[in-house]
């Protein structure tokens, strides 16, 4: 079973519920839906890569001249935003593990990011799914592993696109 099938079987929460869990808003809120999947003891987060996202005009933009060949590869979803999306999912997972009533007056900020590796590009129209597995979770600290897969338009199966380890500190 692939991650998408697990995602759809899980306990899905929509954007309005995610907004109750994380402080990020507007163009800096990347998660569209999250799903806790008991079968694999993981929280999965979905990021739909929009054609008109704020970064598309400047991150490997498509040249304005149609016949230009220089750097005609973009736009590409920035790797740093993949990590940011994972960190937002980490906050949701931290709250799920400790309980919202315990954590409602706090949030997590990045403390450390390790082992970031990118394997595949992510572009507008793609669907990014991120899986988290917690290594440590307390009122003061969160440490989780993250792995992302991208569902490319027209592809038969997802491809791994990144992985990292993130530690967060509560504030």
- pLDDT reading at 3 higher than 90: no
The reported pLDDT for the residue numbered 10 is: 85
Q: Which residues pair with 134 in a beta bridge?
A: 144
User: Using one digit for the tens of pLDDT, what is the confidence trace for 78-108?
Assistant: 999 999 999 999 999 999 889 888 888 999 9
Cα torsion through 30, 31, 32, 36, rounded to 10: 170
Nearby residues of 28 by Cβ (< 8 Å), 6 or more positions away: 84
- pLDDT reading at 40 higher than 70: no
- pLDDT reading at 57 higher than 70: yes
Q: How many domains does the chain have?
A: 1
DSSP-derived pairing of the beta strands 42-48 and 33-37: antiparallel
Cβ–Cβ under 8 Å, residues 120 and 131: no
> H or E segment at 115?
strand 108-118
Residue 59 annotated among the catalytic residues of the structure: yes
Give the CATH number, domain containing residue 109.
3.10.129.10
The reported pLDDT for the residue numbered 65 is: 62
- pLDDT reading at 37 higher than 70: yes
Residue 61 structural domain: 3-170
- pLDDT reading at 5 higher than 90: no
Percentage, residues of the chain above pLDDT 90 = 69
* Candidates 24, 26, 59, 93; catalytic one: 59
Q: Is the dihedral of CA 96, 99, 101, 105 positive or negative?
A: negative
The reported pLDDT for the residue numbered 104 is: 87
The reported pLDDT for the residue numbered 167 is: 98
User: Using one digit for the tens of pLDDT, what is the confidence trace for 110-147?
Assistant: 999 999 999 999 999 999 999 999 899 999 999 999 99
pTM over 0.75, yes/no: yes
């Amino acid at each position: 079973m692939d991650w998408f099938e697990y995602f759809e079987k899980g306990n899905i929460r929509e954007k309005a519920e995610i907004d109750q869990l994380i402080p990020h808003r507007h163009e800096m809120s990347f998660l569209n839906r999250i799903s806790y999947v008991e079968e694999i003891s993981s929280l999965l987060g979905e990021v739909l890569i929009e054609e008109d996202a704020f970064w598309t005009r400047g991150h490997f933009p498509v040249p304005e001249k149609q016949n230009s060949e220089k750097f005609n590869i973009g736009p590409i979803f920035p790797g740093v935003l993949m990590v940011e999306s994972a960190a937002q999912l980490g906050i949701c997972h931290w709250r799920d593990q400790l309980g919202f009533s315990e954590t409602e007056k706090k949030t997590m900020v990045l403390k450390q990011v390790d082992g970031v590796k990118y394997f595949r590009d992510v572009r507008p129209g793609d669907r990014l799914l991120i899986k988290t597995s917690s290594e440590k979770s307390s009122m003061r600290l969160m440490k989780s592993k993250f792995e992302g897969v991208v569902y490319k338009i027209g592809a038969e199966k997802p491809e791994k696109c990144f992985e990292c380890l993130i530690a967060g500190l509560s504030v």
